[in-house]
Structures are given as C-alpha cells and as structure tokens.
Structure 1
Amino acid sequence: MATPLRMRLLGQQIVDDLRRRIIHGDIAHGARLVETEIADEYEVSRGPVRDALTLLATEGLVYKGRQGYIVRGLGEQDVRDMYEVRVAFEEIAVEHIVSSDASVSWEGMESALAGMESALGQDDIGAYAQSDLTFHDELIKDSGNQRMIGFWHTLMPTFSVMLEVTNAQDVDLTPSFDDHVAILQSLRKGTSVDVQTLVNRHLDGSLRRMMRALQQQN
C-alpha cells in the first residue's frame, strides 16, 4: 500500500529540520534521538519520525543505538570525504560537457546565476546557498551521466545545509558569485582543464570554510 502523501511530506519536513539542526550543531554529537520524544516535539505520529531517522542514518548523520538513534553528525574526515567525491563528480561533469557533441542547454546554470545575483543584492544567505547548489546540480545534470546524477542527489540534501554553513562564514559573497560566473564562461569556451581548475579552487575554498565552521562548533 502506498504511503499517504501527507505522511511523506511530514517525514520530509522532519528530516530536513533534523538534518539542519544536526549540521549546524544545534543537536550535539552523541545526543540520543528517541522516536516518541521527537514525535511529541513535532506533534506527529511515530511513522514520519521513523522514516526521517532511517533516512538520516543512510546519510551517516545518525546511527542506531540500543535505545533509539544516536547523533553522529559531521566530522572533519566526513566533510573531506564528501568534498573529495563532489570534486570528482564535477570534474567528470566538466569533461562530459566540454567533449559532448550534442549542444548543451545553459539555461539551468544561467537561471541559478540569476538567482544568486538576486540573493546577493538582497543579502539573503539562505537563498544564495540554494541557488549556489542549484548551479552545481545543473552542472552535474548537464553531464548526462545518470548514475552519477543519482549518486549526487543522495548527497545533495547534506550539501544544501553545508552551504548554509559555509556561506555564513563569508562577509562578502561576491567572490563566490564571481567564481560561478567564471566557471560558466570557461565551460562555454570548452576548455576542460581551465574549468576544472576553477571548480577545484572554488570547492577547496568551500571545504576550508566548512572545516573552520566545524572547529568553531567544537
């Protein structure tokens, strides 16, 4: 029997909120998450909570203990590993795009850039983070590698929150925006080595900011 839509939506809202609280450090490493207590907090049944905790476990943010789930959070090695995978994905995507015989639609990345520029003008860090992630999502989707796209989408929710953390480290997001403009311009020129250099530099900066945020949490 299919899961009712309302229950699925509740589960998604709960997992999004818990993921954000864990990565931002609002729920501490080692904290115990009990289904009944979380259900009471969100005023829902245990079903959506169970689904949310199961998904967080697959993402590596919690693990199953004897009495409920335990918060694992993100350690420095976790973050390094995730960025290593992301760099590999984006390098592959760049190579596919610049070597593709088929014409690439630039609309997705252009739209994301417009969103970033708008958020920059409004000093809206949250909106900037989402448009930033959308840009990279469009980059990976334009590769046409369906397996890689599927794997990326399992990591994307965690990166979404991580971007909120890293962007909050920046007093001025203009250099980040300029990086994305340069990446798209270089992609259009079709020189993979140049684009990969830009992508690596950009993601390395994001990694360093995330590591700094983790150190501050600890």
Structure 2
Amino acid sequence: MQPAGDEEAAPKQRVQDEIRRDIIFGSLPPGTRVTETALATKYGISRVPVREALRALEAEGFVESKPYAGSTVSKIPVDDAEDLFFVREALESATARRAARRAAAQFDSGAPSSEWWNARKLLAGILDEGDAAVAQNRLDLLPELNIRFHLGIAELSGSSSLTALLRQIAGKIEWLYATDVDNRGKESWGEHRSIIAAIDAGNFADAEKLMANHVHQSKEGYLDRFSTEQS
C-alpha cells in the first residue's frame, strides 16, 4: 500500500509538470492569469494539488503571485539568460567530462554495468527521436528532447550532485531553448552526435570541449537574436 503522502504528492507533481510544460511551449503565454478553478478544470484535478503546484512553480520562477491580483505566468527570463547559460556551460562541461571518464572505465572493466547500458540505450533512443523530428521538420518536439538528452548525459556521468543541479535549472533552459528552436534547433541538435561519440570513446577532453562549445553557441545565438529583436 502506498503511503498517504505519496498519493497526495503524485497529483501535485503531475499537474505541476503539465502547467510547466504548457508555460514552456506557449499554451500559457507570459502574462496569462491563472486561477486554481480554471486550472483544476483544465487538467481534471481538484484545486488542492493545483494550489500546491502553483506555489512550487512560483518558487521555480514560472509563476508570479501578487496580493489581491492572483497568479500570472511570469515573463520569459531573458534578463537571466546569460547567467543561466553560464551556469549551464560549467555544469554540462563537467557532466560530459565525467560521462566520458565513466565510459572509459566501463569498457576497461570488460563488462559495462546494466545500469550504464540502460542509460546509454535511453540516450540512443532520444537521439533517434530528435533526428526523426529534424527530418520531419517537427522542431516543436526538440526542446523536450533536448533537455532529455542533456539530463541523460548527466545521468551517464554517474554524478547525482551534478544531475540534481542540472535538474534545478532544466525548466528555465528548456523555456529559453523553446523560444529559439526555429533559429538554431537543427544545427544545435546535430551537435549532439559528436558529443556522445567523444563520450563513448572515453575522450574526456574532447567531450568537455564539445559540450562547452555546444552550450556557448546556443548562448550566443539566443543573445544575438534577443538583442536584434530589442533594437
């Protein structure tokens, strides 16, 4: 029998994930007023988990709440973009380096663990899904696949600390990525194959360098586009 706390947490987490996803992909644009009643109806759930989800999303920066004004969807964090990319570059360079070192150790042992193989197979599936999305020009599918790929690299690194840190900013990264996917989505996705190849080869120096450049190019492309739109 599942503990009562787990039963209560499940609906809250589900609706939190669904609201966050709708914000990231534009179904709930910035400035949209969100009420417990409307969201409960939309997602087919009671108001209590919706209330808890909105509090959590406010802590994440996706929702703003003001006294007597209720809750609204926050603005896309363009002012924080450069800092978010800076943190992301440091984190993901480290995860790629560690993932390559771990891959080398797995193959040197002669028998990679089932845990490692399962994580690697998941990444292979994500890459195939992304390649298919690019071929079909379904760029709308790339933001979610992109964050799944990067979190997959973190899992492959075997570092729970780095994975947890990346998860903390993953939603904001996905939000920024979704706004720029039409401009750099195909090119950015294609860079993933070379990163995973360096990891598989156990080449930690190349894996770190390729990941750092990958994130840096995403940052430059986003900031250049944003500055052009504001000029």
Q: TM-score range by the shorter chain?
A: 0.7 to 0.9
Is 1:27 aligned with 2:30? yes
Alignment correspondent of 2:48: 47
Per the alignment, residue 140 of structure 1 pairs with 154
Q: Say if 2:95 and 2:154, in contact at 8 Å, map to a contact too.
A: yes
Query: Residues 1-218 of structure 1 correspond to what in structure 2 (within 5 A)?
Result: 1=4, 2-3=7-8, 5=10, 8-21=13-26, 26-28=29-31, 33-36=34-37, 45-67=46-68, 68-69=70-71, 71-100=73-102, 101-103=105-107, 105=117, 106-170=120-184, 173=186, 175-212=187-224, 214-215=226-227, 216=229
Answer yes or no: is the 8 Å Cα contact 2:64–2:74 preserved in 1: yes
Structure 1 residue 146: deviation in Å? 0.8
Q: Distance in 2 between matches of 1:82 and 1:71?
A: 19
Q: Which moved more, 1:132-141 or 1:1-10?
A: 1-10
Aligned length: 212
Shift of 1:123: 0.8
Instruction: Determine the C-alpha separation between the residues in 2 that align with 1:145 and 1:4.
Output: 26
The more displaced of 207-216 and 155-164 is: 207-216
Q: Which has the higher contact order (CA 8 A, sep 6+)?
A: 2
Equivalent AA in structure 2 for residue 162 of structure 1? L
Runs (5+) with no aligned partner, structure 2: 108-115
SS in 2 for 1:190: coil
Inter-CA distance 45–209: structure 2 relative to 1 (3 Å threshold): farther
Residues in 1 aligned to 2:230 and 2:21: alpha-carbon distance in whole angstroms: 20
CA contact (8 A) 1:98 1:192 kept: yes
2:183 is paired with a residue of what secondary structure?
Answer: coil
Percent identity (aligned): 20
Q: CA deviation at 1:139?
A: 0.8
Using the alignment, how far apart are the partners of 2:180 and 2:146 within structure 1? 11
Residue identity in the other structure for 2:58: A
Other structure's SS at 2:213 match: helix
Q: State the secondary structure of the residue aligned to 1:14.
A: helix
Q: In terms of mean alpha carbon deviation, does 196-205 or 75-84 score higher?
A: 75-84
SS at match of 1:169: helix
